């Protein structure tokens, strides 16, 4: 089997991941996905809290559908194991925009940074391929 076939056919959550690590990753990922799904839904329902936040950050009401779609699509892609890495990359971009928006108005971007860590932490714990790509320590062989 070629390397490309192995990469394409490799499951996101595989048997080599210890159960505790896998479930911790699933919980972190699930919470992250729920957060962004609810954020996207709140944008479309034009919740007063969301609209106040958008105004505070300097975004016009006309920008809210685009921001809501970005949150929803990214969260859905992140929640599906086969597209989770793409979803994490898109959520990273989304959160980068949140960090920039908060810094521009003088607010601390702590929440956006924490959620970025949760997104990648959850994926790291549940996906062996991500751990192999981004090892936290050198393995001695």
Task: Output the CA torsion 122→123→128→133 (10° steps).
Answer: -120
pTM of the model: 0.81
Where does the pLDDT of residue 10 fall: very low under 50, low under 70, confident under 90, or very high at 90 and above? very low
Where does the pLDDT of residue 17 fall: very low under 50, low under 70, confident under 90, or very high at 90 and above? confident
DSSP assignments along 77-129, one per residue: HHHSGGGHHHHHHHHHHHHHHHHHHHHHTT---HHHHHHHHHHHHHHHHH-HH
Mean pLDDT of the chain: 87
**pLDDT value of position 86:** 96
Cβ-Cβ contacts under 8 Å for 30 (sequence gap 6 or more): 79, 122
Q: What is the mean pLDDT of residues 35-40?
A: 92
Q: What is the mean pLDDT of residues 90-97?
A: 96
**pLDDT value of position 138:** 64
**pLDDT value of position 16:** 64
Q: What is the mean pLDDT of residues 94-116?
A: 95
Question: What is the percent of the chain where pLDDT is above 90?
Answer: 67
Q: Tally the C-alpha atoms within 13 A of residue 61's C-alpha that lie toward its C-beta.
A: 7
pLDDT digits (tens, 9 = 90+) for 49-91: 989 999 999 999 899 999 999 999 999 999 999 999 999 999 9
**pLDDT value of position 140:** 58
On whether the CB atoms of residues 119 and 92 are closer than 8 A, the answer is yes
Nearest to 130 by CA among 85, 96, 98: 85
Q: What is the mean pLDDT of residues 111-117?
A: 95
How many Å apart are CA 118 and CA 31, to the nearest integer? Answer: 9
Q: Does the pLDDT at position 13 exceed 60?
A: no
């Amino acid at each position: 089997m070629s390397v490309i076939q192995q990469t394409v056919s490799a499951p996101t959550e595989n048997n080599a991941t210890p159960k505790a690590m896998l479930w911790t990753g699933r919980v972190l990922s699930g919470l992250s996905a729920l957060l962004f799904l609810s954020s996207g839904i709140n944008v479309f329902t034009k919740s007063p809290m969301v609209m106040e936040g958008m105004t505070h950050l300097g975004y016009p009401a006309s920008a809210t559908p685009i921001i809501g779609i970005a949150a929803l699509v990214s969260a859905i892609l992140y929640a599906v194991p086969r597209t989770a890495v793409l979803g994490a990359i898109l959520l990273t971009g989304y959160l980068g925009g949140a960090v920039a928006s908060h810094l521009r108005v003088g607010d601390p971007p702590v929440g956006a940074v924490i959620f970025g860590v949760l997104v990648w932490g959850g994926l790291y714990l549940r996906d062996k391929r991500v751990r192999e790509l981004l090892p936290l320590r050198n393995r001695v062989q």
